[in-house]
Amino acid sequence: MPITAEARERLTADAAEIVARYPQPRSALLPLLHLVQSEEGHVSPDGVAFCAEVLDLTTAEVSAVATFYSQFKRRPNGTYTIGVCRNTLCAIMGGDEIYASLAEHLGIVDGQTTTDGMITLERVECNAACDYAPVVMANWEFFDNQTPASARELVDSLRAGEDVAPTRGAAKVCTFKEVSRVLAGFHDGRAGEGLSAGEPTLRGLRLAREQGWDGGPVRTEPAGVGAAAAGEPTPRGGVTSAHDAPPVPARTRRRAGTTAGRPAAQATTGEDAPGSASAADGTEEA
């Protein structure tokens, strides 16, 4: 599908906006490649030529860059890229089983697209969500703690044209073209959707609040906004104020509350919460 004259005009205006962000035009190449992908669903020869023209590069120079990065597709991509993390940690936690199940369910393997053009299946490398393993990415939105069944359900819903909300991300998974446009640096108005953080992200914080561990002064604060009550995150005010800061201690090798010297079995097996506080982060199950 060649880039139409109408599209070219639109892309040219967008390209000028992208180029203007950078001190030197060539820095715009990666966002420009995301941009042409947002038009055609992949980086076509037309897309390469467009980038080359905008930046006064040869098509060979643009192709060399486009083929280096895994997010730039040389063949038409599905409406949704489903990326199963198969790096070691996710693979061992179940990513291999999820991938095998999806491949069988969809009848395709790595890099292929379903005949309806909806799903491209990929194995992806670590996507920085290991505390949510096993992880599946749908158009670069997080689907955390997946199972083979939940992943099959995800692709079935997407193929049926339903809106699907990621675990942490926008209110719904946008199309590959829409997401490519965001990656070119254009707001889509969805930044305010979704969570601040999933439960694993907050575990250390919740535990510290329950235990009254503030760790010393943390940023200056309007007076009166004190430490959070145990178990209950204080909206907007969980930060300890500077006035109740403890004196700064000399750097110490061991600190209060450590458990050094206990036999390995006590720390490394079982599911009891630290110290005497059982079910320390029980709020997450609620």
Partner 1 sequence: MPTPLTPVLSATWDARDSWTLDAYEKQGGYQALRTALTMEPDAVVALVKDSGLRGRGGAGFPTGMKWGFLPKPDGGPRYLVVNADESEPGTCKDIPLMLASPHVLVEGAIIAAHAIRAAKAFIYLRGEVVHVYRRLLAAVAEAKDRGYLGANILGSGFDLDLVVHAGAGAYICGEETALLDSLEGRRGQPRLRPPFPAVAGLYARPTVVNNVESIASVPSIVANGPDWFSGMGTGKSAGVGLFSLSGHVTRPGQYEAPLGITLRELLDLAGGVRHGHELKFWTPGGSSTPLLTAEHLDVPLDFESVAGAGSMLGTRALQIFDETTSVVRAVLRWTEFYAHESCGKCTPCREGTYWLVQVLRRIEAGKGTEEDIEKLLDICDNILGRAFCALGDGATSPIVSAVKFFRDEFVAGTHTPAWELFPYERSTLFAEVPAR
What is the Cα–Cα distance from 261 to 266, expressed in whole angstroms? 10
CB nearer to partner 1: give 159 or 190.
190
Tell me the number of residues near partner 1 by CB under 8 A: 134
In the complex, minimum distance from the CB of residue 208 to partner 1, in angstroms, rounded to a whole number: 4
Interface segment toward partner 1; rule CB under 8 A; list 8-16, 107-115, 155-163, 249-257:
249-257
133 binds partner 1 (CB under 8 A): yes
Q: Evaluate the CA torsion angle 148, 152, 155, 157 in order and state its sign.
A: negative
Coil/strand/helix, residue 112 = coil
Per-residue CA distances from 278 to 269, 275, 282 (Å): 15, 8, 9
Interface segment toward partner 1; rule CB under 8 A; list 6-14, 111-119, 156-164, 251-259:
251-259
170 binds partner 1 (CB under 8 A): yes
Interface segment toward partner 1; rule CB under 8 A; list 1-9, 107-115, 156-164, 182-190:
182-190
Continuous segment of H or E residues that includes residue 62: helix 59-66
Tell me whether the omega of the peptide bond preceding residue 45 falls within 30 degrees of 0, making it cis.
no
What is the radius of gyration, based on Cα positions, of the chain?
24
200 binds partner 1 (CB under 8 A): yes
Beta bridge partners of 85: 124
- Within 8 A by CB and 6+ apart from 101, the residues are 148, 151, 152
Binding mask 65-84 for partner 1 (x = CB under 8 A): x--xxxxx----------x-
In the complex, minimum distance from the CB of residue 200 to partner 1, in angstroms, rounded to a whole number: 3
183 binds partner 1 (CB under 8 A): yes
Which of 224, 260, 276, 286 lies at the binding interface for partner 1 (CB under 8 A)?
260
Binding mask 92-111 for partner 1 (x = CB under 8 A): xxx-xxx-xx--x-------
280 binds partner 1 (CB under 8 A): yes
Task: Give the footprint of partner 1 on residues 204-243 (CB under 8 A).
Answer: 204-209, 211, 213-222, 233, 235-240, 242
Residues 103, 105, 107, 110: what is their CA dihedral angle, to the nearest 10 degrees?
A: -20
Task: Give the footprint of partner 1 on residues 10-49 (CB under 8 A).
Answer: 21-24, 26-31, 33-34
Give me the half-sphere count of Cα atoms (radius 13 Å) on the Cβ side of residue 165. 8
